[in-house]
Amino acid sequence: MTPELVVTLGRGALEVTLMMMAVLLIPALVVGVVIGVLQAATQINESTLSFIPKLLITAVVLVLGGPFLLRMLTDYTTQLFALIPTLGH
């Protein structure tokens, strides 16, 4: 196993991880900012007011984006398994 292959595999793992997390975190971030602006405008300081919408949007994105996330993860895992025979040389 060459150092270049290790770096490539590590980079691929990080890319898949970042893509999967971005799909979940970016909508929660957007909802959090919108709720934060509304809280600042109305001066309502209720912590559950920002937590519940972020939780709900994360659940909705997970249900809707779940097949995409699972496909991304299985594609990367399949690529890793396909590389196993070439690692011995």
Q: Of the given ranges (36-45, 51-60, 72-81), which has the lowest mean pLDDT? A: 36-45
Q: What is the pLDDT of residues 2-48, one digit of tens each?
A: 888 889 999 999 999 999 999 999 999 999 999 999 988 988 888 77
> Can you give the pTM of this predicted structure?
0.76
Which residues fall within 8 angstroms of residue 79, CB to CB, at 6 or more apart? Answer: 12
* The pLDDT of residue 89: 63
Q: Find where tokens 């490539």 sit.
A: 8
All structural domains of the chain with their residue ranges = 20-44+56-82
* The pLDDT of residue 3: 85
